[in-house]
Structure 1
């Protein structure tokens, strides 16, 4: 039996999957690590905690099997996080994560300095989560640490570096730094020169399925693997999530509802221009791209509702009977702006609303409205893709939104597209394993690997009457942001 390992380096834990040639997950293991919030808006981790957790998870994963049966390993990782390395290859400070919001000042500096080049070259707006603003923040506020730094890596790339001794970064993760020429697939000299960063500061670029070395003896011993195990670059978590869901051709879109929510659509043309309204990144598939919209509080909105109004009940109990409530929740509308919003409104001050509450509404109406509001927010991204000429025909739904048949049918109706769930949803970890399988030569293409590894389960088709109802409600939903923006700005002082 031959295996590959997919590593998914998340924000709270690392998860390792052992996958055989049929795409069956033979074993899985995980390790958690702490988050540090020294100040409001700050979010950091110790980079070596990722390494230790990864090696421990792999060791558990492969205990009891022949180490030589593991042919390859690859990685998926949380995007944007900054690891600054000194001359010896050691971190000069804790890693600053994607959900750290201290860099607003640096984002404005980037916009002012780059002007139109920001979107034409990096294809994305300057947001606090991205990597370049973090680099500029450290240079401005921690000059001693910055002066020690000679290069930088993203989280999964640091783990891989510690396992192989080789510095690399794949295109899908590099696209989230604001330093990559996304279409040209090279570090942008215009961006680097604008901020006085030498080319040597950036690691060599490689394809996600690219072979980057073998395991160092010490790492192999700790992981319980052979030093001959091949290591492949891997990709950003969203890119790997797309691969693990089979989003590898035109017409396929991913809907992922976790704490946040993502709409991700495959792109094979670098000339697509969404004018920064949605993210545009390199895919983990070679010479492909994806457009992505984000809802900050997707599953979090439902978790908040349960915690606040049904803390002792399960989600199944909370949602019991939600399918009997007609589309529109009896005229009740929810906007899921609990922590601000990302797409299409990059607004940290906006907050959530229930609109249309009356005395006939019961808790189940509110629960349905929350589910619909989350899906309406995701549909803003679908709507923008379609408005730009993009075809959105089939949507693969994963995450919490794929666990409830009522929600899956709701998605089909609101998106007006066929929605499918997966038999064995493993997300980014499976995508990483697929990159290793492809890199090892098990398949001639990622598409061929997907045919074996990714299996659809249930399919939901749009219901014409519900589609029409939701189309009208969506028009009302889209007005709520503008109508409540000023009110929420006025309330900031009272939070």
Structure 2
């Protein structure tokens, strides 16, 4: 018997088929083969057609069923992971009224900022654990202000994963974790944040019915079965945004456990059982997948926009053939890159730097001694130092890391990068080879609460290795302090 997991990203849809008994992945399929289209009508806008998501999901599902030859009736559950913070508006027939305003769209920044000031920073921090910022609720307000006729015809406002679940099951519902990522949830009252919706003059009836993250959320309809190839009646048993799901995929559920990713941007996602929001201007706080009023589990999300994109930029512009070659070049240079410092913040404003846009900066180059390998090492160290800087922010917000688990992506494959972080925070980093789609498939078993078996499957199937703190800690500390001083000088003058 098997479960199926979807991971709806902004570049592709991934689907994974997993054996229930062992947790082993049979296959992972990605569609389309090229990146999905993203429409940007104006600078800072980003939209996608929800029905394109559905088309690619159906194609990927049919393909994985064909390749694995697994009978559809042997698939006993479906899990869904999805790009966070997007907005899908549908009419009473469930038809999208416009393209989805997705996570990286910045049109509602000023709306969220004004709401934060008008409603009060303390009130938002205490109740929402965040500023309304550029999240889904603020995007909904933008539609009301700028597309009033479309808003009047709206029946429900959904997150991207809610829409996929609806297309599969015909049911429109959402989760507390999802509502918290959209900044619709009041953690103090344990209810939809009606006062925020009132301020935005948004009708609460637009918010879908709430179901538990791990629960029977609906069943594949005859139409859903026809279009995907799945069996009619297959239950949807799990749904979560991509960052909470990434943490789940790494078996991160409890206070002190931290999930890290190092893709185009970097993410540190730490679990806590308190509502501290001292760093709410730099850290986002969401209800984790196993959150409940009785068992507080908050995911603190810190993002480093300028992470893997910095490394990729060097790869392309130094005419290096592969990341492996970059890592080998970097290994020729000692800790600290003989003084070269790279601040990798060239991918737009950094929330953890209070939304300052420093741009990527390369400094302290001595033309007599520094060369390509120095730039490679300085980039790896600079990105690693950014993660450590972020961990310091989380520590100030009450996080005490006990376990750090990371996916086996480009950055964490580099020993210099992982060893630098492990040595500076004095914490072992466990590396796992998994994906969000595999995690979503495995999560179907958690509606029965069997976390021990879930964790064992991850260890048995995905664990690769651990990076332990180096004996050269003082050298790492010296290099980090030089980098940090350079960063704080730039921040002071920006």
- Asked if structure 1 preserves the Cα contact closer than 8 Å seen for 2:309 and 2:347, the reply is no
CA–CA separation in structure 2 for the residues paired with 1:387 and 1:151:
39
Partner SS, residue 152 of structure 1: strand
Partner of 1:492: none
CA–CA separation in structure 2 for the residues paired with 1:404 and 1:23:
27
Partner of 1:43: 46
Partner of 1:345: 353
TM-score w.r.t. structure 2 length? 0.92
Partner SS, residue 28 of structure 1: strand
User: CA offsets per residue over residues 56-94 of structure 1, 9 Å max, x none?
Assistant: 111111222211110000100000011112222221111
CA–CA separation in structure 1 for the residues paired with 2:154 and 2:434:
39
CA–CA separation in structure 1 for the residues paired with 2:189 and 2:174:
15
CA–CA separation in structure 2 for the residues paired with 1:43 and 1:432:
26
Q: Does 1:304 align with 2:313?
A: yes
CA–CA separation in structure 2 for the residues paired with 1:418 and 1:183:
35
CA–CA separation in structure 2 for the residues paired with 1:55 and 1:260:
28
1:482–1:412 CA distance, 2 compared to 1 (3 A) = closer
Instruction: State the Cα distance separating 1:234 from its structure 2 match.
Output: 0.8
CA–CA separation in structure 1 for the residues paired with 2:396 and 2:334:
28
CA–CA separation in structure 1 for the residues paired with 2:58 and 2:6:
10
CA–CA separation in structure 2 for the residues paired with 1:275 and 1:105:
17
Supply the RMSD in Å over aligned alpha carbons: 1.9
Partner of 1:54: 57
Which aligned pairs between 1:73-472 and structure 2 lie closer than 5 A? 73-115=78-120, 116-128=122-134, 130-182=135-187, 184-270=189-275, 273-287=278-292, 288-310=297-319, 313-347=321-355, 349-359=357-367, 360-398=369-407, 399-422=409-432, 424-426=433-435, 428-439=436-447, 441=448, 444-454=449-459, 455-465=462-472, 467-472=473-478
Partner SS, residue 41 of structure 2: coil
Partner of 2:30: 30
| Unaligned stretches of 5+ residues in structure 2 | none
Partner of 2:9: 10
Mean alpha-carbon deviation: is it higher for 262-271 or for 115-124? 262-271
Mean alpha-carbon deviation: is it higher for 373-382 or for 390-399? 390-399
CA–CA separation in structure 1 for the residues paired with 2:262 and 2:5:
21
Instruction: State the Cα distance separating 1:233 from its structure 2 match.
Output: 3.9
Instruction: State the Cα distance separating 1:271 from its structure 2 match.
Output: 5.1
CA–CA separation in structure 1 for the residues paired with 2:312 and 2:416:
17
- Asked if structure 2 preserves the Cα contact closer than 8 Å seen for 1:285 and 1:446, the reply is no
Mean alpha-carbon deviation: is it higher for 109-118 or for 10-19? 109-118
Partner SS, residue 328 of structure 2: coil
Instruction: State the Cα distance separating 1:394 from its structure 2 match.
Output: 2.6
1:16–1:285 CA distance, 2 compared to 1 (3 A) = same
- Asked if structure 2 preserves the Cα contact closer than 8 Å seen for 1:397 and 1:408, the reply is no
Instruction: State the Cα distance separating 1:361 from its structure 2 match.
Output: 0.9
TM-score w.r.t. structure 1 length? 0.92
CA–CA separation in structure 2 for the residues paired with 1:481 and 1:251:
28
- Asked if structure 2 preserves the Cα contact closer than 8 Å seen for 1:248 and 1:447, the reply is no
CA–CA separation in structure 2 for the residues paired with 1:331 and 1:265:
32
1:429–1:184 CA distance, 2 compared to 1 (3 A) = farther
- Asked if structure 1 preserves the Cα contact closer than 8 Å seen for 2:129 and 2:285, the reply is yes
Partner SS, residue 292 of structure 1: strand
Instruction: State the Cα distance separating 1:482 from its structure 2 match.
Output: 4.2
- Asked if structure 1 preserves the Cα contact closer than 8 Å seen for 2:281 and 2:351, the reply is no
The alignment of Structure 1 onto Structure 2 pairs a total of residues equal to 479
- Asked if structure 1 preserves the Cα contact closer than 8 Å seen for 2:381 and 2:416, the reply is no
Instruction: State the Cα distance separating 1:112 from its structure 2 match.
Output: 2.4
Mean alpha-carbon deviation: is it higher for 152-161 or for 219-228? 219-228
User: CA offsets per residue over residues 130-165 of structure 1, 9 Å max, x none?
Assistant: 112211222222222222213200111101111111
